Amino acid sequence: MLSLAGHKDSVNCVVGRAGDGAWLASGSDDESVRVWDLRTGRAVQRLGGVFQGAVTSVVASSAGEARLYASGPTAVFEFDLRRTDVLLNEASRVLGDDQEEINQVAVSTDRQHLAHCDDNGTVCVSDLGAFEVVLALEGAHDNIVSCLTFDPNASSNQLVTGGFDSQLIVWDITEGEVMHSTQIVAHADGASTASASQLLNPPFVHAMEFSRSGAELAVGLGDGTVAILDWVTTPGSPSIRSRQVLHAATVAHVHFPVFAPQTHLMTAGNDGRLAVFDIARDAATREVEGKGDAMVEQAKGGGDGGDGGSLLSMSMPHKVNWFTSVVGASGSNLVAVADTSPSVSVLEIQ
């Protein structure tokens, strides 16, 4: 495990880029973003001086561009990483000023739009070229909008949002209208085996991500479950295909790793665990407990369901806020973890 040290406070978010020049960018409560060279494990740039609070989200542009978008409490900032400044204390462009805290930023697959959501239940859609808000989506969520993602099957025309009203909403951003909404209810099967903390936590939507093919949407919920939605079979009206009890507390993040995007889903929970679920078989899972520092083992063969499923499971030393995956220069499969410590942990998955 490689530890990237340099932040002065908790790390909230991380994004990466693969290849010979593989790098990570991490955002922290210390009001900065640091860009790391994965070949050396060193920070090559510090972006700061503009956020006026914690960095809540970071997202990279396409592989052919070197632009990074990061949100502070009430604004979104664009940085041009082609600049060679080690200390970059000004953004190329600024989008804001919101009245409520921004929770997540997303860029559409065609790089035409950027969207961000806030604590007021509002979602703003911006023209990425002009870098200005062109649409405010309001009234559908009646609580905090915690996460959002563009539908990769619909270019930049459809946006999915989730919030603390336990709703998933699909928006047509060309019309500014709701196409479909799904109300997430308490998980009956999970309730019978849930811990006391799970029973007290409603299924608020905390995280979501599409698979690389766009066939599934994974949703992390406050009751420790992960919902897998079938997105292609019923276009415009997605249905929950399965619901898995993977954590004993809120699911903080979900992610389809770049090295196994069609078969596995990675999840992190406030129970201090990082896990990999076999979505190809919707297998039952079993944990492999580590001892001492965070360690990775692989459980092969049948899970509780006896169907050959497998699970990677890690016990982390700190609560995980976010994580991402990247293929390193040597072809290694890496997972970068942002947590409540001031360091980013980089794990190699065999």
Q: How far apart are CA 211 and CA 228, in angstroms?
A: 10
> Look-up: residue for tokens 């799904």?
182
* C-alpha count within 13 angstroms, C-beta hemisphere, residue 216: 21
Average pLDDT, the chain: 85
- DSSP annotation of 135: E
pLDDT of residue 282: 59
Q: In which region does residue 167 sit, left (phi positive, over 0), alpha (psi from -120 to 50) or beta (all else)?
A: beta
pLDDT of residue 89: 93
Fold entry, domain 62-325:
Methylamine Dehydrogenase; Chain H (2.130.10)
Predicted confidence (pLDDT) at residue 306 exceeds the cutoff of 60: no
Task: Give residue-wise pLDDT tens across range 119-157.
Answer: 999 999 999 999 999 999 999 999 999 999 999 987 678
pLDDT tier at 61 (50, 70, 90 boundaries)?
A: confident
Predicted TM-score (pTM) of this structure: 0.87
Predicted confidence (pLDDT) at residue 307 exceeds the cutoff of 60: no
What burial letters (b/e) apply to 187-222, b meaning 16+ CB within 10 Å?
Answer: beebeeebeeebeebebbbbbbbbbeeebbbbbbbb
* SS3 of residue 197 by DSSP: helix
Domains of the chain, by residue range, sit at 62-325
